[in-house]
Amino acid sequence: MDDTPKSSGDLRKGFLYALSGSTLISVYFITGKYCLMGFNPETFCLVWISVTAFYAFLLVVVRGRVRELRAPRKARLSLLGVGVSTGVGLVLLYSGLKRIDPTFTAFIARSHPVMVILLGVIFLKERLRAVELLPLVLMLAGGVIGVWGRPRDVNVGVALASLGYVAFAFHRLFVKTASVHVRAEITVFYRAALAWVLIVVWTVATGRADFNVPGKYWLVAFVGALISPVLGNLLSFHAYRYYNLSQSALVLMIQPLLVLPIAYVFLGMLPSRQGLLGGLLILVGAFAVVWIHFSTSRKPVDLEGP
């Protein structure tokens, strides 16, 4: 499928959907960290994905798409990949977020768009240039600076979160391939429902389910699950009808800039100078990779606006 936008209007729609989705998705850095002050990672993942699946099903019903839940055969493997990668990614990411502050996690997440680009190059034949390797080195240096000399638990958290973003990079690839055959709300539902099965099995296997948690954490989990994984992903997935993987990844660069003030206002958290320096290097390197890739991988389009 040729996903090159046919007009400047398509590009504007893609930009607005991607920007709105990224903004709402950014909220999970804060809601997730807050909830992990009460829940353990296993229980929180189960609660989070259960509520998300419920909201996603309501969305399908409200949008009148129930008949479309019987996905076409061409989309089933991609939807399975979306669900499995989501389940694995949630377990790894929130296990890492438990150990590190949300702002530094947001900086680590800038490696996610770069991973998405690499997957687009490998599987979708999108283009990558040698000039993009230097920013990758800059990102690696930022990661080393961010964790150098910090407690072992922090480094374990960084490793877990990074692996989680590898899983979510595959998640984006599967979403992109599924978007050719199914609507965004159907993908949102299967993402949550299939991940729920995986996380239930994991939670039962670990035997660490503990629901004796104060009500304020439950409330934040219910609100956060609606904002980020449902509404945020719905808008983000809509963007794939107008944007390719690289363009959507470019918009994801704004997340640390949103998380910094939100984390300070709601959690009173800011990264250390060391973490901020490493995070900024990651952000600059990731932005450079995505911008270079975006600006050289498409034919020029004469248009106004973003």
Taking CA atoms, 64 is separated from 59, 170, 175, 191, in Å, by 8, 29, 21, 18
pLDDT score of 302: 34
Q: Are 104 and 273 in contact (CB under 8 A)?
A: no
With a CB cutoff of 8 Å and minimum separation 6, the contacts of 262 are 26, 27, 29, 30
Total residues belonging to the chain: 306
Q: Are 295 and 132 in contact (CB under 8 A)?
A: no
Q: Give the pLDDT band of residue 202 (cuts 50, 70, 90).
A: very high
Q: Are 114 and 280 in contact (CB under 8 A)?
A: no
**227 or 276, which is more confident?**
227
Residue 89 lies in a domain: yes
Residue 237 lies in a domain: yes
The tens digit of pLDDT for each residue in 111-148 reads 766 777 677 677 766 665 666 667 767 766 776 676 56
Distance in angstroms (rounded) separating the CA atoms of residues 238 and 185: 9
Residue 303 lies in a domain: no
Q: Are 129 and 292 in contact (CB under 8 A)?
A: yes
- pTM, two decimals, is 0.71
Q: What is the DSSP letter of 242?
A: T
Residue 301 lies in a domain: no
Number of domains in the chain: 1
Residue 170 lies in a domain: yes
DSSP H helical ranges for 98-132: 102-108, 111-123
Q: Are 179 and 239 in contact (CB under 8 A)?
A: no
Q: Which token pair is 156?
A: 């374990």
Residue 302 lies in a domain: no
Residue 77 lies in a domain: yes
Please state the rounded mean pLDDT for residues 252-270: 68
Lowest mean pLDDT among 15-19, 37-41, 230-234: 15-19
What is the domain range of residue 151?
A: 8-296
Residue 118 lies in a domain: yes
Q: What is the DSSP string of 148-192?
A: TT--HHHHHHHHHHHHHHHHHHHHHHHHHHHTTTS-HHHHHHHHH
DSSP element (H, E) containing 61 = helix 41-62
Phi, psi of 72 (to 5 degrees): -65, 155
pLDDT score of 130: 61
The tens digit of pLDDT for each residue in 11-34 reads 777 778 877 887 888 888 889 889
Task: Examine the pLDDT at 258 and tell me if it is beyond 90.
Answer: no
Phi/psi region, residue 244 (left: phi>0; alpha: psi -120 to 50; beta: rest), is beta
